[in-house]
Structure 1
Amino acid sequence: MHDLFVKFSILCCLVSYGESARILGVFPMSAGSHYILDYKLMKGLADAGHDVIMLTPYKQENPPKTKGNYTEIILDGFRESISAQHKNLDMFNMGKQNMAFMMSAFINMFAANINNTLSHPKVRALLSSNEKFDAVIVEFFMADIMKIFPEAFNCPMILLFSVGPNSWINPSVGNPQEISYARHLYSRGNNAVPMTFFERTINLFYHVFEYLFNNFYYFPLCDEILQKAYPGAPDTKNLASNVSLVLLNSHTSLYPAHPLVPNMVEIGGYHVDPPGKLPKDLQEFLDNAKDGAIYFSMGSNLKSKLMPAERKKMILNVLGRLKQKVVWKFEEELPEKPDNVLIKKWLPQQDILAHPNIKLFITHGGLLSTTETVYHGVPILAIPVFGDQPANAEKAQYAGYALKLGYHDDNFTEENFEKCILELLNNPKYRENAQRRSKLFHDRPMKPMDTAVYWVEYVIRNNGAKHLRVAGADQAWYEYYLVDVSLFLLACLVVVFEISKFLLKKVFLVVKSKLSPKQKLKTK
């Protein structure tokens, strides 16, 4: 009876918002992994009966059949422009760079993309139109300027963030910056173990550097781009005051526990679909893997063909000695490929991970890949390169379902590569931990997509849900961290000390004068 009541309550929540809302999704970023998240969310909202419009560089060749309306505004030329930029960009070498270089490189790359977005004829026509929207969803990834859209349409702003809570997104809604135990995105080390004094000092440095970098470089750059496109527009930092909801692509089965303010909601895994049917050749290849199979992919942004020849040869040497079959997502054929290795330019990753013969996933450690492997309970060998990949790999290793072997680590040798693979294949604890994490991943009151739909509808239903926004979101950093109060109290302490010192000195002199021997009478 209790289970029936719970199911009925959830169903009521899902259908309580009966009216169709008009929702604009602003996703100008040309990156395959990000597009997956963007499209899945908008399709999910359309499936729930809403009228969604998606601003994107990607075109769906087969538009989805949904209960609501799904419309695309295609940013023509964006994919070609970004592809041209990426053609000469070796992301394998980016991981060697320091934090300052990484941040400036990413910001400059995305600044060009944002500038092209605001100057695009379709965007200018949309922003100057009399269109009405109930909410605007913006992917928040170095795209603060995109907050101009909800400002222009005078409707609630919902941010979709492709990772978990961190210093990029926390200030938007006043979420605590737990510098003492939550490592910065660019920090290195085990993300779930309490930091040492030295590590906490370095972590503080990362946050201070990021704050200064944003205020003296990033935000002025954003304001320059925005004012050029739309003179008189509000400052970029002031656009943040309208954030009604943040949808985080995270979950506690993937991330260490973090505090979340009421209008921050975790929906990690909403992009994962139930397993589908594999192509015939892949199905037969995996079915015939009597000793199991390994899936190897470095994601959609990293091009494996750009690896140095000696690195590719080393990997092939190890894979060729394994008794397991290997499916490797690689952009071109390898002439010295061993017989147990199958090369494909594109692979249905989720469907492969669902195959019962898959024993190991060798991955770059991207969050989507990590999420999908936890969904299916498959252990991983993470070979992180840049961005959030090292942090994801460290979290997975600490959780016990992965080993990490950094692409740029000095110990990435043929011997260690093979040693890691064999350890993961032969030690059952990694699969057991992966299965345990998978159980945590699936143990939720609602499916991730249902959670996303519910909260988007909640914000619309409650006119922006301003009651969920904490006051700290509107405070300056020195107010939020009580720096002004601390300085005031310190100043008071100094004043009290000086006054006390002055009074004690006076009292001491008076007492001393009274206790001193009387002058001898002068003799006649």
Structure 2
Amino acid sequence: MSARVSLLLLFLGIINGNQGARILGVFPFGAPSHYILGSTLMKGLAEAGHDVTIISPFKEKNPPKGGKWTEIILDDLMEPLKKLFIKHDPFKMEGQSGISTINLISTMSNIVSEGALKHNKIQELLKSNQKFDAVIITQFGIDSMKALANHFNAHLILFSNTAANSWLNHFVGNPSLPSFAPEILLNFPEKMSFMQRVKNTIFKFVSTLYHNIYFYPHQNTFIQKYFPNPVDIEDTLYNVSLVLLNSHESIFTAQPHVPCMIQIGGFHVQPPKKLPDDLQNFLDEAKEGVIYFSMGSNLKSQNLPVEKREAILKTFSKRKEKILWKWEDDVLPGQPPNVKLGKWLPQQDILAHPNVKLFITHGGLLSTTETVYHGVPIIAIPIIGDQKMNAYNGERLGYGIVLPFEELNEENLSRLMDEILSNPKYTNNAKERSRIMHDRQVKPLDNAVYWVEYVIRHNGARHLRVPYLELTWYQFYLLDVFLFIFAVIFTVLFVIKKAVSYLCRRSQSKTKKE
């Protein structure tokens, strides 16, 4: 009888241990690339048996078969962003300063944050009696929405679209000194010159002040306005249990990470699927190889300036290879016979085809990850955001060449295409980076699922937090210590100066009397 009871208790324990957690995912940005990453992560958690709710502007076309899947679709959230991007043409933003880019990102983030929080579906969610064990939020300027974790008494997990950087590191106390950590918008190499370190330090200081004096207080007003039981933003920003980084050493330079930061770069890449017949035949019959050209999901080739488009067309028309071009319009004026167009193309499956010899890309991180995964060299034409950082990383690691947008012309494009296709070192380096990406003990998506479950099992995993996280940002960077030291030195020098002056006056007075 006791054996049966023990078996029953063991069985109940196993069931209880495997109960799915309730997880809320917050990915409100209208960029398809952001949604691909967020939805892949949340679908992986659902397939692992969890009860998943995702907030986004998109409807999922392929819902997961396992677990429970609920969508909160934020209708019309993308309209204000479309108006913003009409005013700010991305192809004209290529040369703008890092400060201007930060200001634009902040404007965009404020629009998305307030638009999402005041949305009737989010307000209904806030007024509901739902419970969540964890809230996973994209770490991209929607800091006010982190208060959802406080509201639901859930563990806060951040998902970063890119590697560890200064926009994120301070939330978990990760080392981010300007001496070795280049700012994401400055495109400096990992080994910076003296002047680059000066510029990097000034930019980081200005950016830190901007966020602490303007951006975070502005985001805090949204918390006070739209949450039924508001908290101060300071009570949520640094209460992070886990950070999932969309990075890996195969793509980025190795960086320090505190224990709660986990790299899962490449987790969104799926095994190759069968291509549509027309694409399959086009790639199979390309005896001289295929060049794939795409500017990603946010930048559109159809919006390229006419002179740039004409330069690309003239270059492609002279190639012996076939060209596959992601072109968002029905017609491409002057389309050469060796060029095939597609408004949407299954990029991962295309890059997996052995006949694809070169990828001409904007340098977005999803595209960079996918090309490294499949070992295809690149010519990168970066425009905005982290694209320059990704592009120059590829050039430094030897699997690509950067072609600055202002230098894009027929001569330069032809020369770089000849260099990539004729010199095997680029393909060899791409294959080597691919081997590094594949050589893992655990699949990255499985690793992400494990760590989310780990945080829930260990009630927020407070033991992963570094103790110096309790310091303020100016204490962390020793600014108060340096000010104190300078004040002491100044005081000592001032006292010495006064003492010397006093002694000199006494000496002169004594001399006069004599």
TM-score for both structures, normalised by structure 1: 0.89
CA contact (8 A) 1:17 1:461 kept: no
Q: Which residue of 2 aligns with 1:6?
A: none
Report how far residue 112 of structure 1 moved.
Answer: 1.5
Q: Which residue of 2 aligns with 1:30?
A: 30
Equivalent of residue 307 in structure 1, options 295, 304, 307:
304
Q: Which residue of 2 aligns with 1:11?
A: none
| Partner Cα separation in structure 1 for residue 86 and residue 500 of structure 2 | 75
| Partner Cα separation in structure 1 for residue 76 and residue 193 of structure 2 | 49
CA contact (8 A) 1:17 1:457 kept: no
1:347 aligns with 2:345: yes
| Partner Cα separation in structure 1 for residue 72 and residue 340 of structure 2 | 38
Query: Residue 78 of structure 1 aligns to a residue in which SS?
Result: coil
Report how far residue 101 of structure 1 moved.
Answer: 2.1
**Distance change in 2, residues 1:310/1:153 (3 Å):** same
Greater CA drift, 269-278 or 485-494: 485-494
The AA in structure 1 aligned to 2:394 is: A
Greater CA drift, 213-222 or 373-382: 213-222
Q: Which residue of 1 aligns with 2:465?
A: 469
The AA in structure 1 aligned to 2:336 is: P
The AA in structure 2 aligned to 1:93 is: K
Q: Which residue of 1 aligns with 2:437?
A: 441
Report how far residue 500 of structure 1 moved.
Answer: 7.1
Query: Residue 142 of structure 1 aligns to a residue in which SS?
Result: coil
| Partner Cα separation in structure 1 for residue 74 and residue 430 of structure 2 | 40
| Partner Cα separation in structure 2 for residue 313 and residue 387 of structure 1 | 25
Equivalent of residue 488 in structure 1, options 476, 484, 489:
484
Deviations 1:100-125, CA, capped at 9 Å, x for gaps: 22222222122112111111111111
CA contact (8 A) 1:299 1:363 kept: yes
CA contact (8 A) 2:28 2:57 kept: yes
Deviations 1:74-114, CA, capped at 9 Å, x for gaps: 11222455445545542111223222222222221221121
Which runs of structure 2 are paired with 1:33-112 in the superposition (5 Å)?
33-66=33-66, 68-80=67-79, 82-83=81-82, 85-87=84-86, 89-112=88-111
CA contact (8 A) 1:162 1:248 kept: yes
Report how far residue 442 of structure 1 moved.
Answer: 1.0
Query: Residue 248 of structure 2 aligns to a residue in which SS?
Result: coil
Q: Which residue of 2 aligns with 1:235?
A: 232
| Partner Cα separation in structure 2 for residue 52 and residue 510 of structure 1 | 83
| Partner Cα separation in structure 2 for residue 473 and residue 417 of structure 1 | 48
| Partner Cα separation in structure 2 for residue 75 and residue 414 of structure 1 | 43
1:260 aligns with 2:257: yes
Q: Which runs of 4+ in 1 moved over 3 A?
A: 79-89, 489-511
Q: Which residue of 2 aligns with 1:318?
A: 315
Equivalent of residue 390 in structure 2, options 388, 392, 410:
392
CA contact (8 A) 2:47 2:64 kept: no
| Partner Cα separation in structure 2 for residue 245 and residue 266 of structure 1 | 11
Deviations 1:38-60, CA, capped at 9 Å, x for gaps: 00000000111111111111112
Report how far residue 321 of structure 1 moved.
Answer: 0.5
Report how far residue 19 of structure 1 moved.
Answer: 2.7
| Partner Cα separation in structure 2 for residue 171 and residue 421 of structure 1 | 41
1:247 aligns with 2:259: no
Greater CA drift, 339-348 or 222-231: 222-231
Deviations 1:319-364, CA, capped at 9 Å, x for gaps: 1111110100011121311111101100000000000000000000
Report how far residue 416 of structure 1 moved.
Answer: 0.7
The AA in structure 2 aligned to 1:303 is: K
| Partner Cα separation in structure 2 for residue 446 and residue 378 of structure 1 | 23
Q: Which residue of 2 aligns with 1:406?
A: 404
Q: Which residue of 1 aligns with 2:10?
A: none
**Distance change in 2, residues 1:414/1:490 (3 Å):** same
Q: Which residue of 2 aligns with 1:7?
A: none
| Partner Cα separation in structure 1 for residue 291 and residue 382 of structure 2 | 18
Give the alignment's Cα RMSD to 1 decimal.
Answer: 2.5
Q: Which residue of 1 aligns with 2:186?
A: 187
1:131 aligns with 2:130: yes
Q: Which residue of 1 aligns with 2:363?
A: 365
The AA in structure 2 aligned to 1:293 is: V
Q: Which residue of 2 aligns with 1:3?
A: none
Q: Which residue of 2 aligns with 1:378?
A: 376
Equivalent of residue 207 in structure 1, options 204, 213, 217:
204
| Partner Cα separation in structure 1 for residue 474 and residue 480 of structure 2 | 6
| Partner Cα separation in structure 1 for residue 96 and residue 485 of structure 2 | 42
Q: Which residue of 2 aligns with 1:173?
A: 172
CA contact (8 A) 1:166 1:184 kept: yes
Report how far residue 63 of structure 1 moved.
Answer: 2.4
| Partner Cα separation in structure 2 for residue 103 and residue 31 of structure 1 | 17
Bigger Rg, which one? 1
Deviations 1:243-274, CA, capped at 9 Å, x for gaps: 10010100111111111111011111100001
Deviations 1:217-245, CA, capped at 9 Å, x for gaps: 21232123332323762232332132100
Which runs of structure 2 are paired with 1:146-161 in the superposition (5 Å)?
146-161=145-160
The AA in structure 1 aligned to 2:430 is: A
| Partner Cα separation in structure 2 for residue 404 and residue 16 of structure 1 | 53
Query: Residue 250 of structure 1 aligns to a residue in which SS?
Result: coil
| Partner Cα separation in structure 2 for residue 144 and residue 221 of structure 1 | 10
The unaligned stretches of length 5 or more in structure 1 are 1-14, 520-524
Equivalent of residue 194 in structure 2, options 168, 174, 197:
197
Deviations 1:463-517, CA, capped at 9 Å, x for gaps: 0001111122221122112222233334444555667788899999999xxxx9x
Query: Residue 440 of structure 1 aligns to a residue in which SS?
Result: helix
| Partner Cα separation in structure 1 for residue 350 and residue 16 of structure 2 | 37
Deviations 1:24-51, CA, capped at 9 Å, x for gaps: 1111111100000000000000111111
| Partner Cα separation in structure 1 for residue 308 and residue 474 of structure 2 | 49
1:298 aligns with 2:295: yes
CA contact (8 A) 2:321 2:338 kept: yes
| Partner Cα separation in structure 2 for residue 136 and residue 326 of structure 1 | 43
| Partner Cα separation in structure 2 for residue 356 and residue 430 of structure 1 | 15
Greater CA drift, 224-233 or 463-472: 224-233
CA contact (8 A) 1:95 1:387 kept: no
CA contact (8 A) 2:151 2:229 kept: no
The AA in structure 2 aligned to 1:483 is: L
The AA in structure 2 aligned to 1:465 is: A
Query: Residue 41 of structure 1 aligns to a residue in which SS?
Result: helix
CA contact (8 A) 1:32 1:301 kept: yes
Equivalent of residue 276 in structure 1, options 273, 292, 297:
273
**Distance change in 2, residues 1:131/1:509 (3 Å):** same
Aligned residues: percent identity? Answer: 49
Query: Residue 238 of structure 2 aligns to a residue in which SS?
Result: helix
| Partner Cα separation in structure 2 for residue 52 and residue 156 of structure 1 | 14
TM-score for both structures, normalised by structure 2: 0.91
